[in-house]
Structure 1
Amino acid sequence: MSRTTVTPAPARTDVAVDLVNDAHERRLAEAAATDLTFVRRMGGVLAAGAGIWSVSTFVVGSTPATAFGNTVQDLTGFLFQVGVMALLAVQARTMATGTSRVARAMIPVERVILGIAMLWSLLDAVPSLHEGAAWLPILDICWPLSMLGMFVIGIKIAVAGRWRGLARVWPLVAESWAVVTVPTFLLVGEGVANTVGGTHLLLGYGALGLLLVLRPELTRPRG
């Protein structure tokens, strides 16, 4: 009696690889074809938010002594954060940080941290909503963390080189706001720090927003 051995067909790994490659190529194509009108609009939102918060910093300071000044600072800071969220939308759509999975994951993580910081800005604008709340400092820490995250993203954009010209290096200039302003505040006090911080907002994030408005094509890689 003969014995028949049935050997199962090997798994088709080439199909899975092809699907992954096709999805990757599709994402690259979508990034290269990003609507320049979208980039301009988001750049306008960024420039406006940075400009408004800069004026507020010059007028009421970064740590106002009055409740009204604190509310103004929080709400204008929130508008700046809206602008940063618009910047992240452009960076995500154009894959500015790179094409690897880790590089693409940087922006969603930053969105979460920034979103929590935005919630803190709104809550802190109305102190009566959270008088003595123990959880508020936990939200508060996301403010500096979000700015540190943007600085890391700025470095990654410069290294990845998918954005071109000034658009490649200016995010790092803009996103160095925290690493410039916070040490200034600690070393020489609020007065100088307000001037440095307000000016840096205009020359950094404000100028980056205008760059996206005027030269949106720089967010497209060469090719």
Structure 2
Amino acid sequence: MDAHITTTPAKARTDTTASGEPPVSGKPLISPGTIRVLGLTLTAGTLAWATSIFLYGTQNTGFAERFGDLTGLLFQGGVFALLTVQARTQATGITRVSRIMLRVEAVLLALASVWSLLHGVLPEPAQDGPLLAILDLFWPLSMLGMMIIGVKLAVAGRWRGPLRWWPLIAESWAVVTVPLFIVFGEQASRWVGGTHLIIGYATLGALLTWRPQLTR
């Protein structure tokens, strides 16, 4: 049996970074076709909710209220599609904090979606229960979370061209609409809110569909 001693140093490992985390692979984690489908989902859900706001506003009762809840649920499904693209393309960065940020937002959005579903289908007495009152808080919290993600995404610069900045435009919806509602009332916030959804989220979905390569 041959045996020999070598003085050649062992090769350094290349499967970890200095922080001990695996490096980012050059292979995309999501295909352009999937991004296009998710972009269309965002646009469709946004247009559904914008239509409800144009028709009935955001403060209503009866059928109009339930229609608003359920179209709002469709919008939230579209935001889930957006969040999926952001997570799979590591849009907010590759650090652990950046990944956790997206997971926390997914939880907030899921709880807000449960409120939309239950408030849209339960009979009126149950709509005012304590559980739904708690879940209702996650609607604004989820939108605040998306706003923070929009800022982080713009700073990270991993999405390019208009897709770097358009999430920040889309996710300013509450910042623009809520003060208008407080100052000018329902009519002003109805038209501004619906129009902002189309300019922001619906257009963002169209950009993802048209230019998915900008998420690389």
TM-score (norm 2): 0.89
What corresponds to 1:166 in structure 2? Answer: 162
Distance 1:28 1:207 in 2: 30
What's the counterpart of residue 123 of structure 1? Answer: 118
Structure 1 residue identity aligned to 2:31: D
Query: For residues 131 and 169 of structure 1, what CA distance do their matches in structure 2 show?
Result: 38
Runs of 4+ with >6 A deviation: none
SS at match of 2:22: helix
Can you give the 5+ residue segments of structure 1 that lack an aligned partner in the other structure?
Answer: 1-13
- Structure with greater helix share of residues: 1
Distance across 2 between alignment mates of 1:70 and 1:42: 27
Q: Deviations over 1:29-68 (max 9, x none)?
A: 34x453100110000000001111101100011111x310
1:76 equivalent in structure 2: 71
Instruction: Give the SS at the match of 2:202.
Output: helix
Q: Tell me the residue number matched to 2:39.
A: 43
Question: Are 2:202 and 1:214 aligned?
Answer: no
Closer/same/farther in 2, CA of residues 143 and 131 from structure 1, 3 Å limit = closer
- In 2, the alpha carbon distance for the partners of 1:212 and 1:131 equals 36
CA RMSD of aligned residues (A): 1.9
Which residue of the partner structure matches residue 29 of structure 1? Answer: 26
Q: Whole-Å Cα distance in 1 between the matches of residues 142 and 172 of structure 2? A: 12
Unaligned runs of 5+ in 2: 1-10
Q: CA deviation at 1:131?
A: 4.7
Percent identity over paired residues: 50
CA distance in 2, matches of 1:194, 1:136: 24
The letter of the residue matching 1:122 is L
Quick one: structure 1 residues 33 and 119, their matched pair in 2 at CA, closer, same or farther if it must change by over 3 Å?
A: closer
Partner Cα distance (1:150, 1:28) in 2: 26
Deviation at 1:24, TM superposition (A): 2.6
Amino acid aligned to 2:106:
R
| Equivalent pair of 2:92/2:98 in contact (CA under 8 Å) | yes
Higher deviation after alignment, 180-189 or 123-132: 123-132
Which moves more between the two structures, 154-163 or 129-138? 129-138
Structure 2 match to 1:201: 197
The answer as to 2:114 corresponding to 1:105 is no
Q: Is the 8 A contact 2:44 2:202 kept in 1?
A: yes
Match of 1:144 among 131, 140, 162: 140
- Pick from 130, 152, 157 the counterpart of residue 156 of structure 1: 152
* Local SS of the residue matching 2:130: coil
Structure 1 match to 2:6: none
Aligned partners of 1:166 and 1:218: how far apart in 2? 8
- Give the 3 Å change call, closer, same or farther, for CA 132–184 of structure 1 in structure 2: closer
1:201-220 CA distance string (max 9 Å, x none): 00000000000000000000
C-alpha distance in structure 1 between counterparts of 2:86 and 2:122, whole Å? 34
State how far apart, in whole Å, the 2-side matches of 1:119 and 1:33 are.
28
Distance 1:76 1:132, change over 3 A: closer
Aligned residue-pair number: 203
Aligned-partner Cα distance in 2 for 1:33–1:153: 19
